[in-house]
Amino acid sequence: MTKEIRGVLPVVLMPYTENGALDEDDFLAQTDHMFEVGSDGFVVGQMSELLRLTHGERLRVAEISAKAAEGRGISVMSTGAETAEAAIEYSRHAQECGVDALLVMHPTTLPLGDEEMTDYYSRVIESVEIPVIIHHAKSLAKQPLSIAVQARLLEEYGEERVLYKPEAQPTPPRVSQLRDATGGRARIFEGDGGMMLLDCHRRGLVGTIPATEIAEIVVVLWRLLEEGRRDDAERIGHPLSYLMCHMMNSTDYYLSIAKRFLKERGIVKNTLVRGPSRHVLDDETWTEVHRTYENLLALSKELSR
């Protein structure tokens, strides 16, 4: 039976050994941590350095994702590619491995119009039986994925097969547009590290997709919002947005900070990020983000009681 895809689903930050190979033990350490702090599952997404993995590594990650989630929660594997043919191959393999849903990003090398986007996503959705989360990645899209295309796919395949992770800016108004264009049927995930979760939640969400290092912070924030405890939620949501303003300057900038958080906490063994571009974190930035992060961890523990 297909699991209900909802709740807090953090993204694994791809760990590597000192010689640059995938570190499966640290991958599993992250998934263990996510379930221990109350996450509903996890995602392998773009912040998992997906586009920097080899073909074989992508296949292997799908396999270990399915096993890591078995009996504990939801596993979501990102299977988007530059062609529908490649995306279909990755999607079918992930389904065969036993993952619960797919996160499918659009191609990134060409600006695709509505017809090309509809064809790409339709072919992928029709190739599998598990749910597909349509992912618009704002930093990689040549042009925004239109609300019309997203609504058309839901009408064609239904809300059990098609979900959404919209990141086109400004995100909150587009969440409302997608909600309204689908008569409230669209099942939408926030995907900006909790940055706009306070606003997006009340516009209609089924979940949020942060990353490993802020898993317990966002678990508490999500629960507060679901319980209607807005004042308490703002106590976490506002400093979390400030932290994300620091981190979300680029993929490498984010990873340089997030992996250092995880290493300091003993969840991963190193902070290696695959090249060719690597951000070097300066001491003053680290001091500020670390202070903010520690305060958020303490506050989330206080508000979870």
Question: Is 292 a domain residue?
Answer: no
Q: Tell me the two tokens of residue 125.
A: 């959705």
- pTM, rounded to two decimals: 0.96
Is the pLDDT score of 130 beyond 60?
A: yes
Give the domain extent around 224: 7-229
pLDDT of residue 206: 98
Handedness of CA 104, 110, 116, 119 (dihedral sign): negative
CB 61 within 8 A of CB 13: no
Question: Is 248 a domain residue?
Answer: no
CB 34 within 8 A of CB 217: no
- Is the bond into 173 cis (omega within 30 degrees of 0)? no
Question: Is 166 a domain residue?
Answer: yes
pLDDT of residue 213: 98
State the CATH number of the domain containing residue 164. Answer: 3.20.20.70
Question: Is 66 a domain residue?
Answer: yes
Helix (H) or strand (E) holding 150, with range, is helix 147-157
Question: Is 261 a domain residue?
Answer: no
Q: State pLDDT tens for residues 199-248.
A: 999 999 999 999 999 999 999 999 999 999 999 999 999 999 999 999 99
Q: Domain count for the chain, please give it.
A: 1
pLDDT of residue 241: 97
Question: Is 175 a domain residue?
Answer: yes
Question: Is 127 a domain residue?
Answer: yes
Question: Is 203 a domain residue?
Answer: yes
CA distances from 258 to 102, 125, 193 (A): 24, 32, 11
